[in-house]
Every structure is written in C-alpha cells, then in structure tokens.
Amino acid sequence: MDKVIVTAAVTGSRPTKAMNPAVPYTPEEIAQSAVDCCQAGASIAHIHVRDPETGKPAFRIELFQEVVQRIREQCDMLINLTTSGLHLSGPEIVERRLQPVTLHPDICSLDVGSVNFADAAFVNPPDWAGISAQRMRDYSVKPELEVFDVGHIYQALSLIEEDLIEPPPYLQLCMGVRWGMEATPENLLFMKSKLPSDAQWSVLGVGRAQREMVALGILLGGNVRVGFEDNIYLREGILAKNNAELVESAVQLIRALDREPATPDEARHILRIDR
C-alpha cells in the first residue's frame, strides 16, 4: 500500500495567538506541537521560530537549535527547518538565511523563486537558489523545493539539471497563496504535470483550501502538508484545537482513500535520507 508523508507546519510566521490561542510561540511549545503531530501520524515537522515573548517572526539560530534538540529528545520524526528570508533585512541575508543548515536537520525548505504575496514581496534572487542548493548538498541536507507558481518549477528543474539536487527531488506545491497559484483541482493537475517523473512531491492548501488540496494530493499519489502555518481552522468557523488535530484529520482522509501515513523511517526511505 502506498504511503503518504504528512508534514506538519506547526507555526509559520503569520498566525498569532489572537487568531487561535493554540498557535505555538516558544521553542518548548513549537517542539511539543511537533511531537504531538508525530504521535498523530505526521513524519515531518516544518519549523519556523518566533520571539518567545512577542510571538513575532524570529530567525535566531539558538531558537532553532533548542527546537531541534527538544524534538530529537522525544521522537524520531524528520525535521525540516525554514530558510525563508521574508522577514529579514540588512546585510548578508543569504548567509543568515542558511544558518539553519548548519544544525544538520534532515530537510531545509528552499524557496526557489520570488512571488508577490498579498502584503509583501517574497524576494528570492536568481543566485539564491543555486547557492542554497549547493550549501544543503555540502551539509547532506535534503532541499524541499518550495514552488508557488509554474515558473518556480522550471527554476527547480534547472537546479536538478545542474546536479545540485540529490535524487529524488522533493517539491512542495504551495497552492492558494495570494498571489501565487490558485488552489484549484485544474491548477494542481497542471503543476503536477510539470514535475520530473522521478520527483517526490507534496501539496499544501492555504486556509479553506487545505482539506481539498490534501484530498487531491492523496488521490494523485502525492504527499501532504497541514498545520497552523497554512490554516488555523479544522473546518469553516471551527478553530483547530491544535496542530495534531489537523494531522489527525489528514490521516483520516488518507485511510479513507486506502492509503497509509508514512512513519518517519518510511519517509526517510521514500526521500532517500540516510540518518
């Protein structure tokens, strides 16, 4: 039976406790939320960090380090650290963004192209992708290639052709981010059609699109991502009690569609991560 890798993106940088009191801020809260998601059926935790006092986005290596240590002390799930520079400014941004790679996570996100969000420009210059891919390869960290539109897939293909990505390439199809690719069945099929034949891929849906994209991802043979980074509701008008509840909902869909959630060891085998 085909296994589905479930990623839990437990905090991101946008949701706040004012939106949902269960959004984790501190390293302890973030790590515990990841561990709870592992117990619910997730095999990967996607990690951003927050200022523990204010909850604002932070990019401090000591916060990442504490989260990594806490997760690894409690479970064997794969750890995926963000390298997003959306909230960074000032000199040496590339090197600052790549600090999480030095912690030797299993995976790091790699945003290959720029995109306009509703309230900000997410800028990833052309040389960023190549530098990042090479750095991750040097540290034996699997890149998760984040694509918000079809042009980003073409840029990812260029990295693969340049032998900067160890097989199999792993792409995250980010659907429903304004103003990226709209989360529709037609668009997901189109994005999937552009992927290399040997690629592993996952899909996320933002907001109310999360459950629909999860269902379609399962049906199309892919992997899925859920969690507060993308959506804070269990269903319309009902806040999720925690990230694990969103994982449990995804696992129910996976089993209803005759597949099974991958364990951490199975996810490592699927992605060829040897740790």
Q: What is the pLDDT of residue 89?
A: 87
Q: Which stretches of the chain score pLDDT less than 70?
A: 1
pLDDT tens string 153-178: 999 999 999 999 999 999 999 999 99
Answer whether 142's CB lies under 8 Å from 106's CB.
yes
The number of angstroms, rounded, from the C-alpha of 54 to the middle of its chain's C-alpha atoms is 23
Burial class (CB in 10 A: 0-12, 13-18, 19+), 111: buried
Burial class (CB in 10 A: 0-12, 13-18, 19+), 212: middle
DSSP string for residues in the chain: --EE-EEEE---SS--TTT-TT---SHHHHHHHHHHHHHHT--EEEE-EE-TTT--EE--HHHHHHHHHHHHHH---EEEE----TT--SS-HHHHHTGGGGG--SEEEEE-S-EE-SSSEE---HHHHHHHHHHHHHTT-EEEEEESSHHHHHHHHHHHHTT-SPSSPEEEEEES-TTS----HHHHHHHHHTS-TT-EEEEEE-TTHHHHHHHHHHHTT-EEEESTTT--EEETTEE-SSHHHHHHHHHHHHHHTT-EEPPHHHHHHHHT---
Name all domains of the chain by residue range, CATH numbers in brackets.
Answer: 3-271 (3.20.20.70)
Q: What is the pLDDT of residue 135?
A: 98
- To the nearest 10°, the Cα dihedral for 260, 265, 271, 275? 170
pLDDT tens string 83-132: 998 989 888 999 999 999 999 999 999 999 999 998 889 999 989 999 99
Task: Classify the C-alpha dihedral 80-43-56-19 as positive or negative.
Answer: positive
